[in-house]
Structure 1
Amino acid sequence: MPIPGQVRGPSARAYLLIVLGEYAFDHGDAAWTHTIVDALALAGFEEKAARQALSRTAAAGLLTPQRTGRRTRWHITPAGRESLAAAKDRLFATGPESDWNGDWLILLTTVPEQHRNLRHRLRTTLGWAGFGSLGPGVWISPHPTHAAEARQVLDSLGEPVHGTLLHARLDDPGERHRLVTQAWDVADLDRQYRAFLDRFTPARPRTPGEALAQLAHLVYQWRRLLLADPGLPPTLLPPRWSGEQARRLLLTRHTRWLAHARTWWQAKETEHGRLGIMVN
């Protein structure tokens, strides 16, 4: 979940993973440095930022470089494939579940005060998993099936982080909505979804390069929304929920723009591949 008061610009590494997921994943699982640099330039990133993103992603074990003469081709590693597949599943999942039986999952956590970095990672990963905070160390989710994911989050953070999972039921509709209001800022999330709709509904890219840039922005902004969205059941959401409207727009625009954008990517891969042969 976002940290109050923290303002961060777009991440070149996040855009890199989007680009790899759209054009390299399951399409050879590799790309030339210059194809990636050119793609990120369309999205507004300078070459230095693109190359740093490649280096950091490789350091994280998601990419591995292969030298071909004086040129480099980046290959997605098995860990990278797993990460990209999980992200794509989450990004393009179906809408919220149609009904809900009122059961809640409660997670009680403790993190030693000196481990501030672990506290931040816990907040971020639990937010991505759809948990909301009722106060220090108290997290809730209307998805009891997320218990395994919560345990994975705790295990990934190591021994300093401890957690206890509980199941609870709350039948009073008023109390349910009070918990939702306390744990998540649904009104702010609604504003963010409406801003997403306002930005991308009128977008009409005219060229393959514009389609690639708009698609990268679309997926990046959608990813940001998912980080903040717990995926609440419809019964806990306002009527005519803007999030569902935004999801339908995402799927429509993604399908429409992807084929167009791939023609740019394939042309660049071919161009840089031929240049590599000529140079070598």
Structure 2
Amino acid sequence: MTAGEFPGVSAQSWVPLLIGTALPARPFASGAGLVDLLATAGYAAGATRVGLSRLCADGSLERRRDGRQTSYRLGRQMAETVTSVGGRVESFGRSVGWDGSWTIVLASVPDELRSTRRRMKSALAYLGFGRLRETTWVAARACEDEVKDLVESLDLAGLVDVFVGRPSALADVDAILHRCWDLGSLTQRYSAFVARFAPLCTAVSRDALTGPDALLWWM
């Protein structure tokens, strides 16, 4: 694997995951170290520094200066997000029980809150929701608690209604699935992922990686 394999993914996107995965207890990490680490993956130092500044500006990172040295750690909310991402990655593909319940979200967010609306859509997609109609999102699991946390964090009370239930016998569930998700594309992407990373399934293959190569494969 070589550097530069992450088209469209900025250095800023990697920083919270790198810090949060390696340092879940939230100690401060050297800014210069983060710049060097991402340089291994082909990111320019300037791009990483800009990303660090933006993450501090939006509260995702906390900054500490000691003389000429600057260090960073995750803000509490971002740390919770990274922990959630990590849990989803670790549990992916494991068999779980499902009682057939779906969660339906009806959201009518006005144009004056369009930035909040974008964040809501992104968060719903992360939670596994697909858009059935312009203002209707569905997930094939019961997850009202996660949606409640999302509504509270974005201050959308009164603009979002949530229901949990099962499709009527009149509903064409297969058609709903294909409207909400591009299942053909997902299947191709999962197959490509498995083919690409299958060689790393053995401990011998993983142990043979250098430090920089291990970082690139992880990313």
Note if contact 2:16-2:78 (Cα within 8 Å) is conserved in structure 1: no
Task: Provide the residue aligned with 1:206 in structure 2.
Answer: 209
1:102 & 1:199 partners in 2: Cα distance?
A: 33
Higher helix fraction (1 or 2) = 1
Residue 88 of structure 2, aligned match among 78, 87, 90: 90
2:58 & 2:81 partners in 1: Cα distance?
A: 11
Note if contact 2:102-2:166 (Cα within 8 Å) is conserved in structure 1: yes
Structure-to-structure mapping, 1:89-238, within 5 angstroms = 89-95=87-93, 97-144=95-142, 146-159=143-156, 162-170=159-167, 172=169, 175-202=172-199, 206-216=209-219
2:158 & 2:116 partners in 1: Cα distance?
A: 8
* 1:179-207 C-alpha deviation (Å, 9 max, x unpaired): 21121111111112122223333466731
* 1:19-46 C-alpha deviation (Å, 9 max, x unpaired): 11232333x7222112100111111210
**Structure 1 202/213 Cα, relative in aligned 2: closer, same or farther at 3 Å?**
same
Note if contact 1:154-1:161 (Cα within 8 Å) is conserved in structure 2: no
Amino acid at match of 2:209: R
Bigger relative contact order, structure 1 or 2, given CA contacts below 8 A and separation 6+? 1
* 1:41-95 C-alpha deviation (Å, 9 max, x unpaired): 1112100111112112222323322222211222334334323322222222253
Task: Provide the residue aligned with 1:19 in structure 2.
Answer: 18
Note if contact 1:109-1:161 (Cα within 8 Å) is conserved in structure 2: no
TM-score normalised by the chain length of structure 2: 0.81
2:138 & 2:101 partners in 1: Cα distance?
A: 10
**Structure 1 202/128 Cα, relative in aligned 2: closer, same or farther at 3 Å?**
same
Gapped runs of 5+ residues in structure 1?
1-7, 217-280
Give the CA deviation at 1:96: 5.0
Note if contact 2:105-2:161 (Cα within 8 Å) is conserved in structure 1: yes
Task: Provide the residue aligned with 1:79 in structure 2.
Answer: 77
Note if contact 1:110-1:161 (Cα within 8 Å) is conserved in structure 2: no
Does residue 37 in structure 1 map to residue 32 in structure 2?
Answer: no
Q: Percent of aligned pairs with the same residue?
A: 28
Note if contact 2:151-2:160 (Cα within 8 Å) is conserved in structure 1: yes
2:195 & 2:148 partners in 1: Cα distance?
A: 38
Give the CA deviation at 1:97: 4.5
Tell me, what secondary structure is at the counterpart of 1:209? Answer: helix
Tell me, what secondary structure is at the counterpart of 1:165? Answer: strand
Note if contact 2:62-2:74 (Cα within 8 Å) is conserved in structure 1: yes
Amino acid at match of 1:152: D
Gapped runs of 5+ residues in structure 2?
1-6
Give the CA deviation at 1:129: 1.2
Note if contact 1:112-1:161 (Cα within 8 Å) is conserved in structure 2: no
1:85 & 1:15 partners in 2: Cα distance?
A: 14
TM-score normalised by the chain length of structure 1: 0.65
Structure-to-structure mapping, 1:45-84, within 5 angstroms = 45-84=43-82
Amino acid at match of 1:133: R
Tell me, what secondary structure is at the counterpart of 1:45? Answer: coil
Tell me, what secondary structure is at the counterpart of 1:201? Answer: helix
1:160 & 1:104 partners in 2: Cα distance?
A: 21
RMSD (CA atoms): 2.6
**Structure 1 30/50 Cα, relative in aligned 2: closer, same or farther at 3 Å?**
same
Amino acid at match of 2:210: T
